[in-house]
């Protein structure tokens, strides 16, 4: 990316490109662009880092409490798992195979409304998009399809790398996620109000 592009603009542009990359229709749309635009899209995706999203003290406290409950129960878990397209807050290995998104107030529109005792929380668009990204990369064969498209857009031979966007091409057989191979992985959300 050009040095004049602000990090926030690069992040927004990368999210747009990722939104296209994760679906067959989006990849087909980029396939129809001129080669220079395809290379620009691939460069956005490959070379723009996904920053950690800022969270509130309420969210940090909630995540700490969830991890502490698991630690006391003797349950294995991983925190802040990078899947290349963002960070999963908590991963529970084993037969459940659950990646958890632990949401604090900043993940919702107007979380402190006073018109009811338990407001119906509505996720902000970035949080909805984060779920879509994770669901896409957790589908079998999705990471390989994304890598093939990125290679084609760059006009390069397929890479023999072990990772795409920081995601192991075979997540199930990687040392970090050995439990994925035998079990279906689910993505779940829990907000701080449900936790209380």
Task: Kindly give the confidence (pLDDT) of every residue in the chain, 196 residues in length, as a single tens digit, with 9 standing for 90 and above.
Answer: 455 667 677 778 888 999 999 999 999 999 999 999 999 999 888 876 666 778 889 999 999 999 999 999 998 888 887 776 778 888 887 666 788 899 988 888 876 665 656 567 888 888 898 888 888 887 777 888 888 899 899 987 666 655 666 665 566 555 556 556 655 667 889 888 888 7
The pTM of the full predicted model, rounded to 2 decimals, is 0.76
Rg of the chain over all Cα atoms, to the nearest angstrom:
18
Count helices and strands in the chain by DSSP H and E runs? 7, 8
Answer for the pair 17, 44: CB distance below 8 angstroms, yes or no: yes
Give residues with Cβ within 8 angstroms of 139, minimum separation 6: none
Burial 149-173 (b: 16+ CB within 10 A, else e): bbebbbeeeeeeeeebbebbbebee
What pLDDT does residue 96 have?
63
What pLDDT does residue 67 have?
93
What pLDDT does residue 122 have?
84
Q: Which DSSP state fits 157?
A: P
């Amino acid at each position: 990316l050009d040095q004049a592009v602000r990090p926030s603009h690069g992040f927004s542009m990368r999210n747009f490109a990722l939104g296209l990359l994760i679906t067959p229709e989006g990849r087909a749309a980029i396939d129809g662009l001129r080669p220079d635009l395809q290379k620009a899209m691939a460069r956005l995706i490959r070379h723009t880092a996904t920053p950690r999203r800022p969270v509130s003290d309420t969210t940090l406290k909630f995540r700490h409490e969830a991890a502490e409950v698991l630690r006391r129960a003797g349950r294995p878990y991983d925190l802040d798992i990078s899947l290349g397209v963002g960070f999963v807050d908590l991963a529970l290995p084993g037969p459940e195979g659950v990646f958890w998104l632990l949401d604090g107030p900043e993940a919702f529109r107007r979380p402190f409304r006073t018109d009811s005792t338990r407001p119906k929380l509505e996720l902000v668009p970035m949080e909805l998009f984060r779920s879509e990204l994770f669901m896409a990369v957790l589908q079998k064969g999705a990471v390989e399809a994304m890598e093939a498209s990125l290679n084609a857009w760059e006009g390069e031979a397929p890479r023999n790398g072990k990772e795409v966007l920081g995601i192991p091409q075979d997540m199930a057989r990687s040392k970090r996620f050995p439990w994925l191979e035998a079990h279906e992985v689910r993505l779940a959300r829990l907000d701080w109000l449900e936790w209380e």
